[in-house]
Amino acid sequence: MKYVVKESFLNYLAHLFFSDSGEEALLGSLLGDFVKGNPVGRFPPAVADAIFFHRKIDSYSDRHIITRRSRKRISPARRRFAGVIVDVVYDHFLSRHWPQFSPVDLKSFVGRVYSVLGRNRAHLPERLRRVLPHMIAENWLGSYCQLEGVGHALDRIAGRLSRGGAFKGAVAEIVANYEALENDFLLFFPDLSVFARNGTKGSR
Rounded CA separation 80/3 (Å)? 28
pLDDT of residue 1: 31
Q: For residue 113, what pLDDT band results from cuts at 50, 70 and 90? A: very high
Query: Cα 16 to chain center, whole Å?
Result: 8
pLDDT of residue 6: 34
pLDDT of residue 2: 28
Q: Dump the DSSP string for 94-148.
A: HHHTHHHH-SS-HHHHHHHHHHHHHHTGGGS-HHHHHHHHHHHHTTHHHHTTSHH
| Residues whose CB falls within 8 Å of the CB of residue 41, separated by 6 or more in sequence, listed in order | none
Of 17-31, 128-142, 155-169, 171-185, least confident by mean pLDDT is 155-169
pTM of the model: 0.86
Across the chain, what does the average pLDDT equal?
A: 85
pLDDT(7) > 50 = no
- pLDDT tens, position by position, 66-106: 999 999 999 998 888 899 899 999 999 999 999 999 999 99
pLDDT(13) > 70 = yes
Q: For residue 41, what pLDDT band results from cuts at 50, 70 and 90? A: confident
